[in-house]
Chains A and B, each alone.
Chain A
Amino acid sequence: MPGKLKARIVAGRHLPVMDRASDLTDAFVEVKFGNTTFKTDVCPKSLNPQWNSEWFKFEVDDEDLQDEPLQVTVLDHDTYSANDAIGKVYIDIDPLLCSEAASVISGWFPIYDTIHGIRGEINVLVKVELFNDLNRFRQSSCGVKFFCTTSIPRCYRAAMVHGFVEELVVNEDPEYQWIDRIRTPRASNEARQRLISLMSGELQRKIGLKVLEMGGNAVVGYLQCFDLEGESGLVVRAIGTACTLDKLSSGSAPNTNTHTHPNTAPASNACNSPSKDGKESPLAHGCRSTHNSPVHSACSTQRLSQNFSVSVPTLIFTGMGSGGSGGKDAGPLKTLLRQQTQTALEQREFPFFTLTSFPPGFLVHVGGVVSARSVKLLDRIHNPDEPETRDAWWEEIRQEIKSHAKALGCHAVVGYSESTSICEEVCILSASGTAAILNPRFMREGCLDIGIPDHRFEEPSPPSCGFCHIPYDELNMPFPAQLTYCYHCRRQKVPDVLFTTIDLPQEASVTGKGCLIQARLCRLKKKAQGEVNATAISNLLPFMEYELHTQLMNKLKMRSMNALFGLHIQISIGENMLLGLASATGVYLTALPAPGGIQIAGKTPGDLSNEHHISTIQKRINDTIAKNKELYQINPPELTEELVGSPIPEPRQRSRLFRSHSESSDEVSELDLSHGKKDAFVLEIDDTDAVEDIHSLLTDAPPPTGFYSCNTEVMPGINDWTSAVQMFTSVRVIRLSNANLTNQGLNKIFTELCENLLKSFYFKLRSMIPCCLCHLNFTVAVPEEELIQVAVTAVAMTFDKDQTQEKLADKPITKGTGETEEQLQFPLELCADSSLPNTQPPGSKISGVPESTNVSSRVSSLERSSPLPDGRSRSLRSTRSFGGSSVTVVKMTPLSFLPGTRIIKYLGIINMFFIRETTSLREEGGVSGFLHSFIAEVFAMVRAHVAALGGNAVVSYSMKECVFMENPNKNQAQCLINVSGDAVICVRETDQEPTLPANTGQSCTSAAEGTT
């Protein structure tokens, strides 16, 4: 009996009227855990009942504690008929199982009903007493911490990064069970909510076990997803990165000064010849992807033999044991490094990391994006206890990713993520990440301290450019690329363009600002069933991927940038079309060469009118590029010729742009996406599609003045965040009225949809200018034949305009906010020499504050006593002005931090799944009214749970699923939403905040005391 769960029901408020006659309610509460149920007394005739119940005690296994949620049901007592349910609250007690997280759950929870939404609130107290369990064969994994955050959480230090953990569990979907025909929609929804809650608990527990086996104590970058496979079942799967985390206490000031870089560079590369004059190609920039479509038919496991390998498959592995590769450009140090890392990673089946930003020094080199997709036919999951098929599918894909990474000369994949898109019985599985070489010291036992000086030699290149240096051997390049010497250190080779799925490394040196770059694509497909359908889809995939990359590349050049971060490509299937959306943040990496312009060529030279046309377009393109350069402040330092010895490509060199003839499939099916041998990059203007494409290039409107946007954590080039944040979710669905749409027509509509969404955001948030939309996360879906759905979650953050312009000018310490590490994030811009001042590791400002039992009260007092904020930061204040409001303000952000604050404690993961259904759609304001209130309700429930844990913010928040179905004729609609994030306590950076990280510990404590 390793645990005792105790719950107490205190009171309710704002209950709905359940008895029309008296306009009152006779409410009581059922508290259920596992199979045990307790009831409170009935509190007669009150809409604000006070139950003040005793402590209900459940004696349970810790395994159950991890799997099961506490279920609180509020009912209306009825003497003569059945009691009416008012609503339910599911409380995930996982945060209580970890000693470092929350100690008690106490607060007002919205009472939720899947048909009526929120119906009043209930005040609940929950505690857990855990007994030590010495059983070696235990099934529980209490105590393993989970974080959605895809970096090392801010008040921890990574002692060791163990690596990839994954798990999936399957079950029948209650919505498709026979019993669903006879039960009410409410019962069915509740069964589903409960099942998913159970399954995610189980999943988390199983992953926890794996982490314990590996010797870790936490999962970072935990990504859990649901696949609603319909008839064939329900899959809940998760991936994450197992780590051993040490909590930073106030005593152990974090290491700040780890990377003083030796100026002595390995000189071995002085006479390296320039790279071969490879033609640029859209897919060649470190992007490899394959489409593997073994289609499983419904009744057998017969495989279709189509195999779409889009990338160049013949590759010689570089580095490691195979002689004469890695050593060439980097000298023995690199080889040594590789060997060390290799051994550290070799034991791992999948050297994948779901992290997107890393402790300084962790990331050594980045190869490029690797991705794999595979089309599958779903069939019923017959035995929920053996999810082997699904496991095998993912295994396949991961193997593929792994081999792609190897081909890029990399031994690891970072920024790794997996996703699915399902339509009827066809499912696309996708995985993508960034091939990389990592520093092995984080993966070896006994080498925990990042400050140990003898590791210096492992970094032969400065951190501001080192990650750009190619990891592969230039003589055996995995794809034709144009290499030059690094524009930053001049010592090693860099590619001309770099695509990655990770966040921009903190220490990276960037010129100007970044911006959101999106490629959007629609492809019609014939309606089909089963295998035919799957084949059609897999045939389309390579073209889509290719075109998306072409678009990305062109748009990148239009903005005069040379690298993409946070690249995320989503391909979504519908019955009659495929949607592709690639989002990334473009930046100009100082280390990489300046991108050439875009040149347009006509097919029929000599035609005068045509030539004229071309020259006008060419002029417009050139003008746009020039304008963008100004807009994003891209003024790379002019390189002087005395730095010769290394070949500098002509700065004015133009790369020509290639458009694929995607319609003529024979050309591309040659599997050569690199177009290395062709006279590539000719943009043929007499092709009507090409005209469309150019127009779409030119019509991509830049954000209005005062706005920036990116899909990474923060905007490269903006450092002075002020404390105002506004997280938002927006969903838009359009109906395609015209049945005879062409691909071009669709593309235009889809592009407009995305652009208009962005315009709406800018307009709505105009009061926050100057402001940046960060972590813009677009999700597309085709919920029905003629519908396109786009859901966006992002956060708008204000910044201090004056200071960004001064860049590194002295930052007044008097500003209460903005003195976070962000300010120091890119300090290398102006000091491009190798004698660099050091970047601050992310943990340096964070110090543990002594554990306190009344954390929540202290936080609120902190907030109250903090200096009166300016108008923008009002939202951080608690709502206290109206006598006795008990609502804590909870901030939410998809980022891993809140500007102007320090996270002092992580309280546990928030992972919630809600279903909302209505049979009175019109009365609820139509589909928009219905979804608007549902999203607002989801936010409210997340905030309430966080507040009950004693927190005041959610970081790394994301809406992973938003499935919306409607039937306006029947006046019905249903929506499923899954959200997750990390509940935290954060405190305002106060004026007393120390400026030197060395004494962070003391001063932070005193700051906390001073405000208590």
Chain B
Amino acid sequence: MSVELDVFVGNTTIMDEEVYQLWLDGYTVNDAVKVRMEGGVMEECEASADVLLSDTMDQYRTFQMCERLLHSPTKLANQLLFQITPHRQAVLIERYYAFDDAFVREVLGKKLSKGTKKDLDDIGAKTGVTLKSCRRQFDNFKRVFKVVEELKGPLVENIRQHFLLSDKLARDYAAIVFFANNRFETGKRKLQYLTFQDFAFCAGQLINNWTVGAVDNMVEDMDVDLDKEFLQELKELKILIADKDLLDQHKSLVCTALRGKTKAFTEMEANFKNLSRGLVNIAAKLTNTKDVRDFFIDLVEKFIEPCRSDRWTAADMRLYLTHYTNSAHILDTFKHQVVWDRYMGVIKSCIFKMYHD
């Protein structure tokens, strides 16, 4: 005797959130049944393994049928096939678009192309995420990327409206799209200590301050591409290191402000010129796409690593950068205050985030 056909359809679609998660995580039906049995759901309702298997299959089928709709979540609310409560719809979408930080860390900044997709099994093996789940997450990134690519208006808002995601998840996707578009290097060994959330924060800063959208909010790709004019203007900051008087003046202003306020003062004073050169050089080079990609690695190499080897605390870092930024305003001959602020505002918050004690 074998079960040939077995279906259960509710007028209101029945979905078990636990099974949904197992499905999203790429478990096969049999593995999912095992996990559920271990979870003790059987005792809950005097169920047998058969019952559990039948239920899991039903749910998996339902999810597969829903998957098409989840690809364009706005359809989910208008479709007639499944009667799903709005609350459930929101859960379905949010979970479907959720991703593993370990996985996204691997693909962050990579081109969302077929080539990358081929490497997914390696990434899966490395991160412990099933290939099925990797594919879903990767396809999600790609889908969001494709849709927002051609849209005007703020990136986060577009993602939220088209994919009905929560604000948090929409911001994360914005970061992923932003990184993929600018192909920021995140995979180098020196950057390994940074989490996805660190990068997502930095992406948010860059999107809000350095893109075209930061000045004009009705341009295409406004939040994805960096503001070219601004990048050109950044070259002007070079004067801070090229003009020796200015550099000395800047240094003395900063040192005066810092003296006695930190234990790392001697190191700060000794390293001032090096660090300042590092930051200003990063700014000056951003017109090159190649250097944009190396933005994060440069920040680490030119700034974070020297400070770390001098054992600055996070508070030291804060103190130093605050005074470093502010003192530039007092320099009489330095005329590029606006650009400086726009640049340093982002650099400051990025470094704060990236500087792990």
Interfacial residues, chain A to chain B (CB-CB below 8 A): 13-14, 108, 110, 118, 121, 701, 704, 726-738, 749, 756, 759-766, 787, 789, 874-875, 877, 879-887, 889-892, 925, 927-929, 931-933, 935-937, 939-940, 943-944, 964
Contact = CB atoms under 8 A, between A and B. Distances in A.
A330 to B, nearest CB: 47
B89 interface: yes
A735 to B, nearest CB: 5
Contacts of A882: 74, 76-77, 86, 89-90, 164
Name the residue among A728, A729, A764, A964 with the largest chain B CB count within 10 angstroms: A764
Contacts of A891: 11
Contact of B83 (A118, A704, A763, A889): A889
9 contacts: A734-B2, A734-B4, A882-B89, A886-B78, A890-B83, A891-B11, A928-B61, A936-B65, A936-B81
Contacts of B334: none
Interface stretch (B50-58, B228-236, B292-300): B50-58
A757 to B, nearest CB: 9
A738 B2 CA distance: 10
Contacts of A701: 46
Interface in B87-120: 87, 89-90
A726 B9 CA distance: 10
Interface string B36-65: 000000001111101110110110011011
Given A879-B89, A928-B57, A939-B83, A731 B51 contact: no
Contact of A964 (B1, B5, B8, B45): B5
Contacts of A737: 1-2
Contacts of B4: 733-735, 787, 927
A568 B3 CA distance: 26
Contacts of A749: 1
Contacts of A933: 65
B45 A766 contact: yes
B45 A763 contact: yes
A15 to B, nearest CB: 12
Contacts of B77: 879, 882-885, 887
A297 B3 CA distance: 37
B5 A733 contact: yes
B357 interface: no
Nearest to B59: A764
Contacts of A927: 4-5
Given A730-B8, A756-B50, A762-B46, A877 B86 contact: yes
Interface residues of B, number: 47
Given A874-B86, A936-B13, 18 more contacts: A121-B80, A704-B45, A732-B3, A732-B5, A733-B5, A749-B1, A756-B48, A764-B55, A765-B14, A882-B89, A886-B78, A887-B80, A929-B64, A932-B65, A936-B65, A937-B81, A940-B81, A964-B5
Interface in B120-141: none
B6 A732 contact: yes
A49 to B, nearest CB: 15
B86 A881 contact: yes
Contacts of A731: 5-7
Contacts of A763: 45, 47, 51-52, 55
Given A737-B1, A756-B50, A759-B48, A935 B9 contact: yes
A732 B62 CA distance: 16
A731 B4 CA distance: 10
Nearest to A769: B45
Contacts of B78: 13-14, 884-887
Contacts of A935: 7, 9
B75 A14 contact: yes
Per DSSP, are chain B's interface residues mostly helix, strand or loop, or mixed? Answer: mixed
B12 A875 contact: yes
Contact of A762 (B6, B7, B45, B81): B45
Contacts of B57: 928
A880 B81 contact: no
Contact of B47 (A108, A759, A940): A759
A779 to B, nearest CB: 14
A780 B91 CA distance: 37
Contacts of B64: 925, 929
In the A-B complex, the 6 residue pairs with the closest CB atoms: A882-B77, A885-B77, A733-B5, A881-B86, A730-B8, A727-B11
A555 B12 CA distance: 34
B288 interface: no
B2 A735 contact: yes
B352 interface: no
A647 B6 CA distance: 53
A893 to B, nearest CB: 8
Contact of B85 (A762, A875, A890, A931): A875
Contact of B79 (A14, A874, A928): A14
Given A759-B51, A760-B54, A879-B86, A928 B6 contact: yes
A877 to B, nearest CB: 7
Given A733-B3, A762-B46, A726 B10 contact: yes
Contacts of B89: 879, 882
A943 B84 CA distance: 13
Given A736-B1, A874-B87, A764 B8 contact: yes
B94 to A, nearest CB: 12
Nearest to B86: A881
Contact of A728 (B8, B51, B84): B8
B82 interface: yes
A874 B47 CA distance: 27
A943 B5 contact: no
Name the residue among B1, B5, B10, B52 with the largest chain A CB count within 10 angstroms: B5
Contacts of A936: 9, 13, 65, 81-82
Nearest to A874: B85
Contacts of A885: 77-78, 86
Nearest to A706: B45
Name the residue among A121, A704, A877, A939 with the largest chain B CB count within 10 angstroms: A939
Given A763-B52, A766-B45, A932 B1 contact: no
Name the residue among B6, B62, B65, B80 with the largest chain A CB count within 10 angstroms: B80
A939 to B, nearest CB: 6
B124 to A, nearest CB: 25
B153 to A, nearest CB: 16
Name the residue among B57, B82, B85 with the largest chain A CB count within 10 angstroms: B85
A737 B2 CA distance: 7
Name the residue among A729, A875, A964 with the largest chain B CB count within 10 angstroms: A875
Given A925-B61, A928-B5, A728 B86 contact: no
Name the residue among A760, A789, A877 with the largest chain B CB count within 10 angstroms: A760
Contact of A879 (B55, B75, B85): B85
